[in-house]
Structures are given as C-alpha cells and as structure tokens.
Structure 1
Amino acid sequence: MSVVLVVNSGSSSFKYQLLDMDHEQVLASGLVERIGEATGRARHTVTAAGMGADGTDAAPTVLDATYTRELPIPDHTAGFAVMLEAFAENGPSLTERPPVAVGHRVVHGGARFFAPTLITPLVEINIDELSVLAPLHNPANLAGIVAARRAFPDVPHVAVFDTAFHQTLPPAAYTYAIDAELAAAHRIRRYGFHGTSHKFVSEAVAAFLDRPLAELKQIVFHLGNGASVTAIDGGRSVETSMGLTPLEGLVMGTRSGDIDPAVLVQLARRAHLSIDDLDDLLNKRSGLLGLAGVSDMRDLLERAERGDAAATLAFDVYVHRLRAYAGSYLAQLGGVDVISFTAGVGENSPAVRAGALATLGFAGVELDPERNETRGPGIRIISTDASAVTVLVVPTDEEVEIARQTLEVAQS
C-alpha cells in the first residue's frame, strides 16, 4: 500500500490527510489549531477506509469516527506530536500503514519552482526567501515543513507549490507594464495561484470526457472564499486571474480583486490610510464583505432573495467580473471546449453558475437549468446535450493532487 501524508500548514494551525494512493482513499484527516494560544485544539477523523474497509466502491458500512482534544500546543513541533498521538490512539496505525512520503502545500514558489520538489535544506532556504512574495503563507508553510521533517525524518518530504502550474504562462500574460528594471529587481510579475486545484480539475475533466488533455481548451473557475479562473490550453495554464499575490482578479469573500491602482493613491492622500491600512482593506474588508457585510455566498444569496439592495448589488458585481473573465479567456483561447466550476461556491451555487454563463450563448454555451439545479456527487454535466461547450461541475481534491505529485517525486 502506497500511503502518503499531506500537510497544509498555516501560522497557527495545520490540516492533514493520510491517503491510500493505491485507491486514492482518505484513511484519516485532521486539524490542529490554535497553536501558540493558551489552549489548542486537535481534531482527528478516521474514515471507513482507515477502519479497514475493503476499498471497493460499495457504500461503507462503518461511519467515520472523530476524536477531539484540547490542550496547550505551543508550536508546530508540539502539534505534530499531538497528531502522532492521535494516530497511535485512534488509528489507523502508522506502524502498519507508514507513509512512504509527506507532501506539503506551499503557496508561493516564485519563478524558481515549476514542479513538485524534494525538500532539502537548500529548498527550505528558498521557500524562506520567497516569503517576501507571500508573507502570510510561506513562513507558515515552512514551519509545518520543519516540524514534519522532525516527526518523519526517514521519509522524503515534497513541496507542491500553488504557483507551479502557472509557470507555463507566456511572458505577455505574466508581465506587468511597469518599469522593467524595477520589476526585475523586486520579482514583480504575475504568478497565479490555486494551481494545484486547476491542474486536478483540468485533468479530471479530460478523464471524465475520455478525451486527450492535449486536445482540450478549458476555462476552470475555482470559486471559494478565495477565487480564481484559469485558461488552460492542452493542459497548460496560459492565463490566470490571480497575479503577484492572490489579491488580483475576481471578487472574493473579503478580497477586492481587480481595482484601479489610483484608488490606493487617492485613499492614501485623502483618507490618510497607511500601507498596512490599505493591505488590510483590500484583503480583509473588501469583496462581498465590503459590499454587503457578509463574506459567505450562501448568506449573500439569502439576503438578496429577501430584497436586500446591497446584497443584490454585491452579487451582480461578483457575476459581472466572472463574465468579464470568461469573455476574455474565450478570446485568449480562441474558443473553448469545456467550462468547469469547482470549490465551495463553484460546486454548490447554481445561481452563480447561471449568472456567470448567462451571456455566453453567442459562444455556444447552453446551460440546462434542471441539471444546474440538481445536486449530486462526483463530476456532472450541467449543459444541455445540444450545447457546443460542455459545462461541468467538478469537485476539486487538492490533497489527492498533492499526494499524486508527492508520490511521483518520491518514487523517481
């Protein structure tokens, strides 16, 4: 059995999954949070597969079991010790099912990392140096790597970068039109994010349609609290909405997305906002939250249905931006074969999907209203049989994608 542990580390928490990659099944998952606070919290869930299910497609007869603990967790190293105790006490046994490798999500790989990478001391130094491009993410990712390598010293650790999939962007797509020397000196360019999800979804689409990935022109909308859209030509990212940071592009839960840079100048001059104030405004107090006071699309739609004008406007702004990017990427690709929606909003909001595609009939996009409203597991088609463009809902699985790439590196 090829078992891989996947770790996604934040500054005060980390998530993990233990996966049986022979069947791509989750054996266990968990969350260690409130690291560094007076009382930390750990949650560990053992799935039916982890309890000894036979790995077939039959519905499991054993329900998942979840265990929680509250105790001081001073740092990530202590957090991994808590995680190991959870495995030892509740299963599955890491002695019987030891991980052959540990995969780590790392947000920013800059222009240095364009593929999953075996972690060495030099790679750790590079991840640390790239923290200037992702100060909220890379240091936290690195803290998880250091702690995990202490907990699992005898297996390979692999970094999988959110930005790597977008290293195929052409210069015309990743270059900002500012002073070239200044941009080069400070590594200012578009990098793109959510690459692990976009890669997973685009490959899942090709498999589902039983068509060669190299022949497909795709637009993938990853719509969650953070949101991005990518144009994918033959499996290669050729344009994406996020830029130097995950702030650029679509309207998001609390992030503004695209904005005239002069707005920041005006706010600094007239409202006397500092650099930190502007950073907080654009990342934490904008998007749906800034427009309507709620960041969750479900809450927004409930308010809009009750006639809330601010919520209605926020939804319209959100959808307007989706259409703008869809039209742009249709032009960049020269047409499209498949449009996919994934992540929390993309997978669960028929209203968002319908709004995003409402004006694309000219391009051969024809949504089936009944299919769009029908929920179900797995990949499903929501376009009509006559639609020239196939529209899909595709559940993303970034952990499986990280595990796949980790295993490939570990076995090479």
Structure 2
Amino acid sequence: MSRALVINSGSSSVKYRLFTGDDPVATGLVERIGEPGGDAADHQQALAHLLDQLDLTDLAVVGHRVVHGGLRFSEPIVIDDEVVAGIEELVPLAPLHNPANLAGIAATRALLPAVPQVAVFDTAFHRTLPPAAATYAIDTEVARRYGIHRYGFHGTSHAYVARGTAALLGRPLAELNLITLHLGNGASACAVAGGRSVATSMGLTPLEGLVMGTRSGDVDPAVVAQLHRTAGMSVAEIDELLNQRSGLRGLSGHNDMRALLAARADGDPAAQLAFDVYCHRITSYVGAYYAQLGRLDAVTFTAGVGEHAAPVREAALANLHRLGIIVDPARNAAVSTHARLISPDDAPVQVCVVPTDEEREIASQARSLLPTADSPVS
C-alpha cells in the first residue's frame, strides 16, 4: 500500500507524519532549526535528517501545509515552479508562515525530486465564503490593491471535522448545517452549510475572531490608533501586543487552558474573567452563525480546548438552550478521545465533540490529486 508524507514546516521547526494508507506509521518533530544547539542548521538539513530515519518505500506523495493561499489557491495543487512563485507572492499576507512553508517545500523537492509534492492551504476551505461574508467595508480600491479580504484559516480542520460530524450523526454532509469550533491555542469558528464554509471568524490574518491563547481576537480597530497616539507604541509593538500578549495570557497570565482552569478553580478572579470573556465570545459567534444559517443541525467542538475542556463547552453554550442547543452535563463531563455526542438524544440541535486530524486531512487531499489513490512513485 502506498505511503503519504505530511510536512508542516515552521520558521524553526518541521513536524511530519507518515501514513501507510489511512494509518499513521511515524510522526515526529525537528525543533530549533537554525538556532545555537538546535537539531539542524537549516530546513534542508532538518528534512534530510528526518527522511533518512523514515521508511519511504512506496512513497506516493508529499503533502505540505501552506498557511495562506490568498484568492489564488482554492484547492490543493501539485507543486511546480509556478505554484512556488504564487505562494511567494502571498508572503506579504503571511510573513511569518509562508516563507517557512516555502523552505520546507524547497528542501523536500530537492531531496525527493521524483515524488509529487502537493500544497494544501489553510485558507482554501473558506474560498466558498459569499461576498457579504468575505468583504470588509472599506474603500474597495484600497482593499483590491492590498488584498484586504476575509480569508479565514484552520480550513483543513474545519473540513475534516465537518465530515466527522456528518459521520457521527449518520447523515449526509450535504444535508447538514453545522457550526464547527476549533478551540486550541489558536481558535476559530466556522458556519458550514452543506459542506461549504459560509462564514468564519478569522479574517485577513489569524488574529480576528475568538479569544485565543495569546491573541486578542476581535477588538475595535481604533485601539491601534489610540495606542499609537496615547502610548507612543509603534505598529510593530501593537502587533506584538495583540498577537503575543493578549487573549488568555493578557487577561490572566495563562495561555494554556489547563492552567487557566486550575487557577479559576483556586478562586483567581483574573482567571475567572478570562474564562468568562473567552466563553462569551464563543456564545456570540454561535448565535450569530445560527442566524446566518437559518437552520442548525449541530455544533461541534474540536482541537485541544474544544476536545478536552468540558467547562468551556458547558459555559459557551449555557445561554443557548432556547435555540435548542443543550449540553447534557454527564455526557459533557465524561472523558473520551473519541467522537461523541454531548447533547441529549432528543435535542433539536446536536452538540458534538469530534477530534481533529489536520495531518490526515492533508494526506487525504494530497492523495486525491494522484492519478490513482494507490499509485506509488518509483
């Protein structure tokens, strides 16, 4: 059976997972690339090292996570020089992510020149957003010239979890209206109608939307001008504040939900406020997306916080029972790593927990571009 290798290349790390068919057979991480005492001097050396450790017999395809596909890339694509140039053109929209993704692509293409390489974009799932959901209300010529647009992120996770929810409910995805909540250190909400993204909380960048571990999520845009005028902060300083020193960390000192919940249980008022702000924002988005969809079949939680933080799930949906969204306390509190319902059987809207697997989704999308699903490259 053919194999698929998934590469997630960051600025100083490379995560990988190797699949035989649908089964993961190896996974790992190379860290501190280019740093003193790190695992490798550069991405080429890091990937050369990890490829030497893997059995790549019958390797059919390499799938690369690419954060930003802009308006150009709406689906996975086999990588060639033209695609690389297109990803490079999008670097201004993702200056921290796309260059690292490109470094991984360049190294793997050089090391495995006979194996097809496929780019899978975080933004691609959201290319189905209707214009009303994707357009910011600013001068249209300025928006066009500088690419100001709601792109959305976590697309591979939302796509995977939407299909997982349909499987859990035993219903065709095409018939379902869903709200998927990817709650990790980064967090986003997505309204999915018939398998298509129609609204999502992240926007031009992954900063907008829900409260996150270190990111603020939604703030009044005038905050930027106010801090510049009154505090003398530069744009770079404000950007660092909103991305690295805000969210749960900014409110409580904790960016890990487990630590926050422990501090809350100990009576820390800052932790309680952070928890309340976090859940309030989720409630607001679920209510808004319910209104946009008009009819809702399920709300699904996923990612580290969504899958494991029962208090968050309960509090985020506590005020929505009149909309038919009800959490069963016993089901919600039960510890499990499997997809499951946490609402009563007769609830008008089902509440689900579906573990995400972005690497598996990338492998699946990469394989979908092969001539036949199990055709290895020799």
User: Normalized against structure 2, the TM-score is what?
Assistant: 0.97
Matched, 1:108 2:76: no
Matched, 1:303 2:303: no
Partner residue, 1:46: none
- The whole-number CA distance in structure 1 between the counterparts of 2:280 and 2:169 is 29
| Contact 1:117–1:159, Cα closer than 8 Å, also in 2 | yes
Matched residue SS, 1:244: coil
For 1:29, the aligned partner's letter is T
- The alignment of Structure 1 onto Structure 2 pairs a total of residues equal to 372
| CA displacement at 1:378 relative to structure 2 | 1.6
Partner residue, 1:63: none
Q: Which string of whole-angstrom CA distances, capped at 9 and with x for unpartnered residues, describes residues 340-399 of structure 1?
A: 000000000000000111011111112110000001132011001121111110000000
Partner residue, 2:14: 14
| Contact 1:102–1:158, Cα closer than 8 Å, also in 2 | yes
Partner residue, 2:198: 238
Q: Which string of whole-angstrom CA distances, capped at 9 and with x for unpartnered residues, describes residues 117-143 of structure 1?
A: 010001001101101000000000000
| Contact 2:168–2:340, Cα closer than 8 Å, also in 1 | no
Runs of 4+ with >6 A deviation: none
Matched, 1:390 2:354: no
Partner residue, 2:223: 263
| CA displacement at 1:235 relative to structure 2 | 0.2
| Contact 1:335–1:363, Cα closer than 8 Å, also in 2 | no
Matched, 1:399 2:359: yes
Matched residue SS, 1:385: coil
Matched residue SS, 1:103: strand
- The whole-number CA distance in structure 2 between the counterparts of 1:107 and 1:235 is 21
| Contact 1:217–1:234, Cα closer than 8 Å, also in 2 | yes
- The whole-number CA distance in structure 1 between the counterparts of 2:82 and 2:345 is 52
- The whole-number CA distance in structure 2 between the counterparts of 1:350 and 1:404 is 30
Matches within 5 A, 1:285-324: 285-324=245-284
Matched, 1:75 2:42: yes
- The whole-number CA distance in structure 1 between the counterparts of 2:126 and 2:31 is 30
Partner residue, 2:375: none
Residue of 184, 202, 211 corresponding to 2:144: 184
RMSD: 0.8
Q: Which string of whole-angstrom CA distances, capped at 9 and with x for unpartnered residues, describes residues 156-194 of structure 1?
A: 000000000000000000100001100000010100000
| Contact 2:9–2:100, Cα closer than 8 Å, also in 1 | yes
- The whole-number CA distance in structure 1 between the counterparts of 2:335 and 2:354 is 12
Matched, 1:124 2:77: no
- The whole-number CA distance in structure 2 between the counterparts of 1:204 and 1:115 is 20
Q: Which string of whole-angstrom CA distances, capped at 9 and with x for unpartnered residues, describes residues 249-299 of structure 1?
A: 000000000000111111000000001001100000000000001100111
Matched, 1:40 2:38: yes
Matches within 5 A, 1:5-404: 5-21=5-21, 24-41=22-39, 73-87=40-54, 93-94=55-56, 97-404=57-364
| CA displacement at 1:244 relative to structure 2 | 0.2
| CA displacement at 1:409 relative to structure 2 | 0.8
- The whole-number CA distance in structure 1 between the counterparts of 2:312 and 2:126 is 25
Partner residue, 2:376: none
Q: Which string of whole-angstrom CA distances, capped at 9 and with x for unpartnered residues, describes residues 278-328 of structure 1?
A: 110000000000000110011111111111111100000000000000100
- The whole-number CA distance in structure 2 between the counterparts of 1:340 and 1:148 is 35
| Contact 2:6–2:359, Cα closer than 8 Å, also in 1 | yes
Q: Which runs of 5+ in 1 are unaligned?
A: 42-72, 88-92
| CA displacement at 1:98 relative to structure 2 | 2.9
| Contact 1:9–1:143, Cα closer than 8 Å, also in 2 | yes
| Contact 1:366–1:386, Cα closer than 8 Å, also in 2 | no
Matched residue SS, 1:358: helix
Partner residue, 1:61: none
User: Normalized against structure 1, the TM-score is what?
Assistant: 0.89
- The whole-number CA distance in structure 1 between the counterparts of 2:58 and 2:45 is 20
Work out which structure has the larger RCO, using CA pairs closer than 8 Å and 6 or more positions apart in sequence: 2
